[in-house]
Amino acid sequence: MSVRAIRTTTVAGACAAALLAVFVAWSGSAQEPDRSRSSSGVAGMPDFSGTWERYTPPRDPNAPASRAAPGAGGGLGPTFGGAPPPLKAELVAAYEADLKLRQDAERRGEPIPSVNAQCIPEGMPGMMIALFPMEVLQTRGQLTIVQESFSQIRRIYIGENPPAIEDAEPTFFGHSGAKWEGDTLVVETVGIKENVRYRNAPHSAAMRIVERMRMLNPDRFENQITVVDPEFLTGPWSWTWTYQRKPGYKMYEYVCEDNREFVDPDTGAQRMRFRNEAN
């Protein structure tokens, strides 16, 4: 065996060892206790408490669909969820023109900044995409959901109805009431600010977001989301997001402290601000 071959074998061996170390580290972290799992939920009801991350079904076209992985067989789960919004005919042209504007700008390398790029949180329902890990705290009468990205928090009051539309002050996360239907928590949210737009879809003050949350197994839960807006949509707009438990994970803080992405006042495009450069 030549010196070069021996060196190659040694490097390959070191590589395999390093990869093995990574996997061992992962499996080790998976065995840590889940400190945020609640013990104060309602007895006999599902408990969503814990830290979670978005679950993306495996990219296997031949995998059979299952209850645990409802999207399996359909390729990667939709990042943004399902079909485009079923907007009323009079709104379609403006929506598509806006979409084209964004796609063209993206191709030119001059993207139109998203709200996130301006340090503004997604709000509802976009925050439930779980861009980063999320923490769910289930206590008597309340489900609190904390998203690591932008430290977003929403509070769902179990056993209450959401306020009437005319009483729902527009906010980022809305006002949520919920009830149990068997093992499914049905959450209804109203009162989303007009400028809080999921997939850039416009909505009216009459928009309602209905979420059906249920545990698929002890380490996975799904959230079937349906947006209803009699003024802007021709029918329900639905998709499903699934989350998997992230045992032992401790949430990081997120304060948008120094955002260097800014909107160029001349072009409207996203640009990078340099240190010591006035914005």
Partner 1 sequence: MPKLFRAARGMTMRKTANQCVHALVVVLTFGVVHGAHAHHSFAMFDNENQIKLQGKVTSFQWTNPHVYIELDAASVYSEDKTVKSWTVECANPGILNRIGWKFNMIKAGDEVTIIVAPLRSGEPGALLKQVTLPDGRVFANGGPAGPALIQ
Nearer to partner 1 (CB atom), residue 8 or residue 139: 8
**Rounded-to-integer distance, Cα 205 and Cα 171, Å:** 11
| CB of 193 closer than 8 Å to CB of 173 | no
The least CB distance from residue 263 to partner 1, in Å, is: 11
**Rounded-to-integer distance, Cα 134 and Cα 254, Å:** 12
Nearer to partner 1 (CB atom), residue 4 or residue 67: 4
The least CB distance from residue 214 to partner 1, in Å, is: 22
Q: Which one, of 137, 139, 136, 184, lies nearest residue 42 by Cα?
A: 139
Radius of gyration of the chain, Cα coordinates, nearest whole angstrom: 22
Element at 179 (helix H, strand E): strand 175-181
The least CB distance from residue 255 to partner 1, in Å, is: 6
The least CB distance from residue 98 to partner 1, in Å, is: 15
Burial string for 31-67 (b: 16+ CB within 10 Å, else e) reads: eeeeebbbeebeeeebbbbbbbbbbbbeeeeeeeeee
Nearer to partner 1 (CB atom), residue 10 or residue 66: 10
| Matching residue, tokens 């949350």 | 213
Nearer to partner 1 (CB atom), residue 138 or residue 149: 149
**Rounded-to-integer distance, Cα 73 and Cα 12, Å:** 35
Burial of 264 per CB tally in 10 Å (0-12, 13-18, 19+)? exposed
Q: Which one, of 239, 250, 260, 181, lies nearest residue 214 by Cα?
A: 181
- Contacting positions for partner 1 (CB under 8 A): 4-5, 7-8, 11-12, 14-15, 18-19, 22, 26, 54, 56, 76-77, 79, 105-111, 113-114, 116-117, 119, 131-133, 148-149, 252, 254-261, 269-272, 274-275
Nearer to partner 1 (CB atom), residue 14 or residue 93: 14
Nearer to partner 1 (CB atom), residue 132 or residue 239: 132
The least CB distance from residue 33 to partner 1, in Å, is: 19
The least CB distance from residue 120 to partner 1, in Å, is: 11
**Rounded-to-integer distance, Cα 38 and Cα 59, Å:** 33
The least CB distance from residue 41 to partner 1, in Å, is: 27
Nearer to partner 1 (CB atom), residue 56 or residue 234: 56
